Structure 1
Amino acid sequence: MNDVERLQESLASVVAGAGLYLEKVELKPAGRRTLLRVTVDLEDGPGGVDSDQIAAVSRDVSQFLDESPDAPAGQYVLEVSTPGATRELSESRHFRRAQGRKVVITTAEGEVSGRLESVEPDRLTLSIGGADQEIALSDVIRARMDVEL
């Protein structure tokens, strides 16, 4: 098991204890230090992670790492964040989290943009210009959330 996998395994329960889901752990060199990026999200369904939740889970992760042999060696910078407003959507859970939001989906037939109305096990329903369009999940090549201004 490499360092990232070990951290992912160790931090999953800490993040879950804060009522969140551990999306990803990254370790990257940053000069003389290491950047430890921990990406958290809600487990499922629509909604968002608020700043109080981020602050609380950041404290929990920091405290855990202070006492853990799995913490990165040497100096490191801890960054705890969410996937962001334009996150890639690659798992069913990601699509369920994006329900009600604007998305951009690429299929073999091109790119479509619309509001993600519903997510079924095998298909998505987008509202595009007031009309619904179904897209099979198996046809999705790439998808991401789109920023609404």
Structure 2
Amino acid sequence: MTNLSELLAQCGVGLYDAETVNENSRTIYRIYIVKDGGVSLDDCENVSRLLSPIYDVEPPVLGDYVLEVSSPGLERALKDARHFKQSIGELVSVKFINENGENDGIKGTLVAANDGEITVGNDDLSLVIPYDKIKKAKTYIEW
């Protein structure tokens, strides 16, 4: 089968993430797409229309499932270096294990991200956090 990223490029969008979740006794295969200028409903529809016949022949998961295509949203999970690099300058909430082995957290601006660590800063401090210490991270919006 053709690579998912290559298929999405045919629709003019990029792959942010894909996940399989179970909600209300249903299996959902969810694809998050991104595009400069934002993702429209038409973009989601075009991707779904492209993938549906392919997945009818080669399903992405075992058993019955529902395909969902959407944008990752303004408040989105950050799971890998690519996500962090794309989010530099945005507000983030990071839960991590500190140098004492304890659970900790910080909210602030994602100042930097490379292949090994991120830097998050706020009015009080600036922290460098290795990826292997991050338990959960997401962008957030102050309303």
2: CA distance, partners of 1:27 / 1:70:
19
Report how many aligned residue pairs link the two structures: 134
**Bigger CA drift: 138-147 or 94-103?**
138-147
Aligned match of 1:62 in 49, 54, 57? 49
TM score, norm. by length of structure 1: 0.65
Aligned match of 2:39 in 34, 51, 57? 51
Letter in 2 for 1:65: S
More helix by share: 1
Deviation at 1:84, TM superposition (A): 2.5
CA RMSD for the aligned pairs?
3.5
**Bigger CA drift: 138-147 or 62-71?**
62-71
CA offsets, 1:70-89, max 9 Å, x none?
A: 368xx975431122333222
Contact 1:28 / 1:35 at 8 angstroms: preserved in 2?
A: yes
Contact 2:88 / 2:112 at 8 angstroms: preserved in 1?
A: yes
Deviation at 1:38, TM superposition (A): 2.2
Moved over 6 A (4+): none
CA offsets, 1:49-86, max 9 Å, x none?
A: 6133x5235214314424652368xx975431122333
**Is it true that 1:26 corresponds to 2:30 in the alignment?**
no
Pairing of 1:62-81 with structure 2 (within 5 A): 62-66=49-53, 69-70=57-58, 78-81=67-70
CA offsets, 1:15-45, max 9 Å, x none?
A: 12223115105375878x8755322235xxx
- In structure 2, the CA distance between the partners of 1:105 and 1:61, relative to structure 1 (3 Å rule), is same
Match of 2:134 in 1: 140
TM score, norm. by length of structure 2: 0.67
**Is it true that 1:13 corresponds to 2:13 in the alignment?**
no
- In structure 2, the CA distance between the partners of 1:58 and 1:128, relative to structure 1 (3 Å rule), is same
CA offsets, 1:65-118, max 9 Å, x none?
A: 24652368xx97543112233322221011112211111112223211101111
Which consecutive residues of structure 2, in runs of 5 or more, have no partner in the other structure?
99-103
Which consecutive residues of structure 1, in runs of 5 or more, have no partner in the other structure?
1-5, 43-47
Deviation at 1:12, TM superposition (A): 3.4
Pairing of 1:89-100 with structure 2 (within 5 A): 89-100=78-89
